[in-house]
Structure 1
Amino acid sequence: MRRRQVGTSGLQVSRIGLGTMTWGEDTDAEAATEQLTTFVDAGGTLVETADVYSDGKAQEILGEVMNTAVPRDYLVLTGRGGLPTGVLGDGAARGALLGALDAMLRRLGTDHLDLWQLPGWDAAVPLEETLSAVQVAVMSGRVRYAGVVGPAGWQLATVAERARTLGNIAMPVSAQVEYSLLSRVAEADLVPAARHHGVGLLAWAPLGRGVLTGKYADGTPADSRGASPVLASYVEARRNERSARIVQAVLTAADGLGTSPLAVALAWVRDRPGVAAAIVGARDAAQLSASMATEAVELPAEIRSALDDVSVPI
């Protein structure tokens, strides 16, 4: 699998990343091991996790797999913190962030994150304090690079400018955001801001929460996330008349190219300007293999243009 530079930083990642949102819920340790080995065998490096995934269980499982099946050094590990609450402060306070980081590292069984992604904007805490937590984490070796999750364009620009005044050690190199044919909101201001400041995008839910695979075109399969009590509302948010039109366009493109709707939707977002990697989740290793096979798919310009037109944000 080809690798990409994250923004203008020196960090490189596989252009498809593995998400672990369902680990600990729908994915047990054995299935997680199969997924991670499949991913690494295909040349994948970027693995994304968060302390809110299964209340930390996903990170515990990932730590177990790294200790038994896949060497830690094979991975670019990105950890996303939640909005922690503790005796040293809430939200993006320095004490809360560093405490949450240490807890994450313990669950993962590692001494550092390759990319630490900070939670959303916290107006109650001075930005300089939040950035000082990044400085401490980097200087102590617990973090190699830092990024942000779901910022607005002006928020990312503000973080980048403030970080420069601190000597760039806290400079964000990535912004993780939902981005797909069904969700192009980031293009309005975040994408231009990221490109201006040399920040790479990590696109999550690139398959429109599974809707772009076409599996929901005729209903809700019993074994799908849309049928899960935990994830049904997450999927349902991307099912509407506009989505149906876009899905039909994806199905038509896939038929014309002799490939899968999954491959078309994933290739579209993977190759959008500024995207360093598209992060996919999977029910099992076979489903993940289908995503990894997209590495060989390149969309012709006319198909990309048609998909652009049908999915223009309203």
Structure 2
Amino acid sequence: MRTRRLGATGLTVSRLALGTMTWGGRTSAEDAEDLLTAFRDAGGTLVDTAHGYGGGSAEELLGRFLGGGRDDVVVVTKAGIGARSGDRVVDCSRRAMLHQLDTSLRRLGTDHVDVWAAHAWDDATPLEETVAALVHAWRSGRARYVGVSNHVGWQAARTMSLLAAEGVPLALDSVELSLVERRAERELADAARSLGFGLLPWSPLGRGVLTGRYRGGVPADSRLASDDLARFAGRHVGDHTRGVVESVRTAAEGLGVSPALVALAWVRDRPGVTAPVLGARTPRQLAQLLPVEDLELPAQIVEALDEVSSDLA
């Protein structure tokens, strides 16, 4: 698998990342181990997880599979989102962030992570306090690099300026980006290239809609059919994305590949992107996505997809 630098840092990573959000939930431990093995066998090195994924199961499984030997794996984990009484809670206070970091390190069975990120923007916590936690983790060696997640352009830039004042670089911003969700490109693509942080797009397949699997209804095994993920998956299903989905399908037919590969290649090669995060739930799904490494979209197809999805930017 080809590699890229993570933003302007010296860290080299694969240009695809493996996501672990469903590990310990909709993805069994056995399938999770097979996913990691297949990803590494394909040359993948970048693995994305978080303190809150699977109630902690994702980090625990990843730590177990790596077994302390991860010289060829770059681990990104995030803090600041948790659950309280079953509800999602954003808390990027210094106390919460560093407590979650300690927990993440224990689950992963290591004394440091490669990249540690604030998982969300927290309106209730002064940004200076969140940044202080990132700086402390970096200076103490518990995080080799730091980043943010789900920050729009001005939020990432403000965070970066506070980090820079402490001599700490911002390595990445992980945001949703796909052909049916292009708002991140308004500010972040230029900011990433100008300021030197990498973009890690999550849901590059538009929460599944760009695969075409919802064209004829809702499959029983899909996220849209599940009680816990229906709201998440359903955002991009509807008339507002139908034209994009059909255009991706047409391009895929012309190239002799799947719609998923077309959609994924488009995100992978957007300006400022380091690596899209593959959210495959099963080894079969991952096997269908890994051939994207050999796919380069012709310029005319990229231009056509840019045009048909321009209203979603």
The TM-score with structure 2 as length reference comes to 0.94
Q: Secondary structure at the match of 1:208?
A: coil
Q: How does 1:1-314 map to 2 (within 5 A)?
A: 1-67=1-67, 71-83=69-81, 91-167=91-167, 169=168, 171-314=169-312
What displacement does 1:131 show?
2.0
Q: C-alpha separation between the residues in 2 aligned to 1:122 and 1:242?
A: 30
Alpha-carbon offset, residue 120 of structure 1: 2.2
Given that 2:80 and 2:96 are in contact with CA atoms closer than 8 Å, whether structure 1 keeps it comes out as no
Paired with 1:186 and 1:161, the residues of 2 have a C-alpha distance of: 20
Check whether the contact 1:194–1:201 (CA below 8 A) recurs between aligned residues: yes
Letter in structure 1 aligned against 2:255: L
Alignment check: 8 A CA contact 1:85 1:96 kept: no
SS at match of 1:237: helix
**Deviation (angstroms), 1:74:** 2.2
Do the aligned partners of residues 112 and 226 (structure 1) sit closer, same or farther apart at CA in structure 2, a change above 3 Å counting?
same
Give the letter aligned to residue 162 of structure 1: L
Kept in 1: contact 2:178–2:203 (CA 8 A): yes
Report runs of 4+ in structure 1 exceeding 3 Å deviation.
83-86, 123-126
Per-residue CA shift, 1:142-171, capped at 9, x if unaligned?
10001101112111111112222212x2x2
TM-superposition CA deviations, 1:164-204 (whole Å, max 9, x none)? 2212x2x2110000000010001112222222211110000
* Matched-pair identity in %: 50
Amino acid at match of 1:310: V
> Is contact 2:210–2:260 with CA below 8 Å preserved after alignment?
yes
> 3-state DSSP class of the match of 1:180?
coil
Q: Secondary structure at the match of 1:222?
A: coil
Instruction: Kindly state the Cα deviation for residue 286 of structure 1 after the two structures are TM-superposed.
Output: 1.8
| CA distance, structure 1, for counterparts of residue 240 and residue 254 of structure 2 | 22
* Structure-2 separation of matches of 1:132 and 1:51: 19
Q: Distance in 1 between the 2:81 and 2:213 partners? A: 33
Q: CA deviation at 1:121?
A: 2.4
Bigger drift between 71-80 and 270-279 goes to 71-80
Residue segments in structure 2 that go unaligned for 5+ positions in a row: 85-89
Q: Distance in 2 between matches of 1:28 and 1:61?
A: 10
- C-alpha distance in 2 between matches for 1:175 and 1:137: 17
Partner letter of residue 233 of structure 2?
A: V
Any unmatched runs of 5+ in structure 1?
none
RMSD: 1.7
How many residues align? The count is 307
Residue type of the alignment partner of 1:241:
D
CA gap 1:106/1:201 in 2 versus in 1, 3 angstroms = same
Pairwise CA distance, 1:31: 0.8
CA distance in 1, matches of 2:240, 2:129: 42
